[in-house]
Amino acid sequence: MNMRSVLLLACLLGLSLAASLERKPHHCSKYLCIAFVSTQNEKAWFYAGYEYDAWQQRIRLYETGTYNNQSFTYDVLLLYGEGVMYQIDTKASKCTKQPLQADFMPLGVPPNASLLGQYVIGSSSGPGEGLLVDTWQGKAPDGAQYMVTVTEFGCIPVSTLYQTKEYGWIVVSYINTIKGILDPSSLSPPSFCPGLDAKPEGTPVDFFTVVSNLKKIAV
């Protein structure tokens, strides 16, 4: 290897190292996608539409299907800033309001995460055969471990692994992701829902309670 090749290699390595050091954790903003959630103990899972707004801490999950020749719909709106969940039946114009007792979990990479590595999903043998992703790891304030994978370009969420006491490891995968929200009104309660002044009723719920309910309806 001649001196010119050595200098070129050193330059490329330096650029690669600099790019790695410059990567900083950051949250994603607004997304529309399909999410698949499963848990280690198999107590909960779902495959449903997922709308997400980081700025106002809002999430909407909706699933429709058929079982035993009967159609079902499960549609919920989680408003973390207000601490409430709306369960919505648009067809019947019915809506209930329950207390929400969980902290908002932002998509993307938490600020205390450390870069585990960069990988290719698929193949790097030819153009368009693989997806370049970054995987980050860390611990949440409650001590739970997590691992987050996002695309290198655009910080599009690919998957999240999160450790919980009740469910074990939870795996969330995201597909068909679109940046932005096509219909902003979908992240606000419909007019037939109880108003802001109405007191939430029923047992407090969290995100994983919602996941469990999706499973009960879909099976």
Q: Do residues 165 and 149 make contact, with C-beta atoms less than 8 angstroms apart?
A: no
pLDDT for position 129: 92
pLDDT digits (tens, 9 = 90+) for 162-194: 887 777 888 888 888 888 888 889 999 999 999
pLDDT digits (tens, 9 = 90+) for 67-115: 556 666 789 999 999 999 999 998 889 999 999 988 887 787 888 899 9
**Does position 20 have pLDDT exceeding 50, yes or no?**
no
Q: Do residues 117 and 133 make contact, with C-beta atoms less than 8 angstroms apart?
A: no
pLDDT for position 96: 94
Q: Which pair of tokens denotes residue 190?
A: 């419909």
**Does position 159 have pLDDT exceeding 50, yes or no?**
yes
**Which domains does the chain show, CATH number per domain?**
30-216 (2.50.20.30)
Distance CA 82, CA 165 (A): 26
Beta carbons within 10 angstroms of residue 214's beta carbon: 21
**Does position 16 have pLDDT exceeding 50, yes or no?**
no
pLDDT for position 76: 92
pLDDT for position 147: 92
pLDDT for position 44: 58
42 compared with 120, residue with greater pLDDT? 120
pLDDT digits (tens, 9 = 90+) for 117-152: 999 999 999 888 999 999 999 988 778 899 999 999
pLDDT for position 19: 38
